[in-house]
Amino acid sequence: SQQGEEDPQALSIQEGENATMNCSYKTSINNLQWYRQNSGRGLVHLILIRSNEREKHSGRLRVTLDTSKKSSSLLITASRAADTASYFCATDRPYSGNTGKLIFGQGTTLQVKP
Amino acid sequence: EPEVTQTPSHQVTQMGQEVILRCVPISNHLYFYWYRQILGQKVEFLVSFYNNEISEKSEIFDDQFSVERPDGSNFTLKIRSTKLEDSAMYFCASSEWGQDTEAFFGQGTRLTVV
């Protein structure tokens, strides 16, 4: 089964607008993490939100988590051209023997036009 | 800021050859991971490593793969006899405590098997 599916798959906005990306998952989680990947580059950790948290902020990023709906959203406010990247959610599930394995979604490709 | 470093950034190898991908995790982290991302696909977990042994591995991580921590700082992924389908970006990651902690990724090694 798929875990951590983002939508939309692609998003194009103008600089200064807000960008919202959503992630859905199917099983219970310890936490959900968001990552950014610039084209062909590494994964940059953005934020971790635990299952008992509902919202977290980091600079222009706001992440929400709704465990009843098994979904999370990443909001980037006042977007900049430099925010152009792919954004992935990744879930860490609670199970015996789990050592922090993350399951990634397909990602949302964000393009911010100057 | 501490970071995970990977070498080389790009490796081209002939089918059937052995390759070793190298990583230096963040120094106070205890859990280490390898993930891979085939072009255009999602990031997939390969293996986690803790206390000098494999703690979890995926179905992808078959007998042609092995990991090692040869000294106090390096963490390596060996692919014994590469296949065309091993072409991918390979990411090393580390986390302080494993489950329910942030995982930090390196910039990746792009492996091309020809």
Q: Decide: helix, strand or coil at residue A52.
A: coil
Interface of B with A in 46-75 (CB under 8 A): 48, 50, 55-56
Q: How far is A37 from chain B (nearest CA, A)?
A: 10
Structural domain including B81 reads 17-98
CATH number assigned to the domain comprising residue A53: 2.60.40.10
Structure confidence at residue B91 (pLDDT)? 97
- Provide the percentage of residues in chain A whose pLDDT is more than 90: 75
Q: Does A101 touch chain B (CB under 8 A)?
A: yes
114 residues of chain B, pLDDT tens digit each: 789 999 999 999 999 999 999 999 999 999 999 999 999 889 999 999 999 999 999 999 999 999 999 887 899 999 999 999 999 999 999 999 888 889 999 999 999 999
Whether residue B3 lies inside any domain: the answer is no
Whether residue B7 lies inside any domain: the answer is no
Whether residue B106 lies inside any domain: the answer is no
Structural domain including A33 reads 5-113
CA distance to A31, A45, B17, B43, B79, per residue, from A48 (Å) = 7, 8, 39, 17, 32
Interface of B with A in 79-98 (CB under 8 A): 89, 91, 93, 95, 97-98
Chain B hits for A40, CB-CB cut-off 8 Å, are: 89, 110
Domain count of the fold of chain A: 1
Whether residue B89 lies inside any domain: the answer is yes
Domain count of the fold of chain B: 1
Whether residue B56 lies inside any domain: the answer is yes
CATH number assigned to the domain comprising residue B24: 2.60.40.10
pLDDT along chain A (114 residues), means of 10: 71 96 92 91 93 96 96 97 96 82 92 95
